[in-house]
Chain A
Amino acid sequence: GENVEQHPSTLSVQEGDSAVIKCTYSDSASNYFPWYKQELGKGPQLIIDIRSNVGEKKDQRIAVTLNKTAKHFSLHITETQPEDSAVYFCAASKGGSEKLVFGKGTKLTVNP
């Protein structure tokens, strides 16, 4: 089955710096890669996703890149703010959201 590895497990940055979280997946049939943000005491919430026919996608300060050949995808957050502090999860699936395989998460801390 699919296996998703996520690094780093913790990341601490200064406000205004950029943050990068990387994930690799094992199943070449996976074609949908969402990123979820989980704030303390809440459920995960989708922040951005990318499909396998796209190499990069941006939404304001957040971007995701995908390298299908290397089977890895990354989340980039620019101009980080304290409210970006949360746990971030990458995931992979074969198109549907009924069966997502998640990475183990990255705890991002943005220091003011």
Chain B
Amino acid sequence: EAQVTQNPRYLITVTGKKLTVTCSQNMNHEYMSWYRQDPGLGLRQIYYSMNVEVTDKGDVPEGYKVSRKEKRNFPLILESPSPNQTSLYFCASSSPSRYTEAFFGQGTRLTVV
């Protein structure tokens, strides 16, 4: 089954404690992205990657890091989480063909206290 898998689904952490949210896709997609979803703000892109070792900032990259060492994985790293990073996070993948669907994971709900 084609899917994007995120882990963990839920995470509560404390301010300043480094964490990583993993994302893996099994569709051999070149493109992967991270979004955060906040009430009233919709989905905003954090980072995206167009291939292995190629990443770029989205609209809200501050406080986040990413890496793309393998085609199937695109982890999101919060080096020093703060309460304003409490949000619902989604990973997505797509092929480089034009006008193609982006497939989203089930989401990770992060709470930073």
**Chain A contacts to B: CB under 8 angstroms:** 1, 6, 9, 32, 34, 36, 41-46, 49, 51, 89, 95-105
Q: Are B107 and A42 in contact (CB under 8 A)?
A: yes
A–B complex contacts, Cβ < 8 Å, 23 sampled: A32-B98, A32-B99, A34-B101, A41-B107, A43-B92, A43-B106, A46-B102, A49-B99, A49-B101, A95-B98, A96-B31, A96-B96, A97-B31, A97-B92, A97-B94, A97-B100, A98-B49, A99-B58, A100-B45, A101-B59, A102-B44, A104-B40, A104-B42
Chain B's interface: helix, strand, loop or mixed, by majority?
strand
**Bound Cα distance from A97 to B92, whole angstroms:** 9
**Bound Cα distance from A36 to B40, whole angstroms:** 16
Identify the closest chain B residue to A106 (Cβ): B42
Identify the closest chain B residue to A103 (Cβ): B42
CB-defined contacts of B58 to chain A, threshold 8 Å: 99
**Bound Cα distance from A51 to B100, whole angstroms:** 11
CB-defined contacts of A9 to chain B, threshold 8 Å: 40
B105 at the interface (CB under 8 A from A): yes
Identify the closest chain B residue to A45 (Cβ): B104
CB-defined contacts of A89 to chain B, threshold 8 Å: 42-43
**Bound Cα distance from A15 to B33, whole angstroms:** 36
Rounded to whole Å, the gap between the CB of A43 and the closest CB of chain B is 3
**Chain B contacts to A: CB under 8 angstroms:** 4, 31-33, 35, 40-45, 48-50, 58-59, 90, 92, 94, 96, 98-102, 104-107
Chain A's interface: helix, strand, loop or mixed, by majority?
loop
Q: Are B42 and A105 in contact (CB under 8 A)?
A: yes
Identify the closest chain B residue to A4 (Cβ): B42
**Bound Cα distance from A89 to B99, whole angstroms:** 17
Given A32-B99, A42-B107, A104-B40, 4 new contacts (CB under 8 A): A34-B102, A41-B107, A98-B33, A104-B41
CB-defined contacts of B43 to chain A, threshold 8 Å: 44, 89, 100, 102, 105
**Bound Cα distance from A45 to B105, whole angstroms:** 10
Rounded to whole Å, the gap between the CB of B32 and the closest CB of chain A is 8
Q: Are A100 and B42 in contact (CB under 8 A)?
A: no
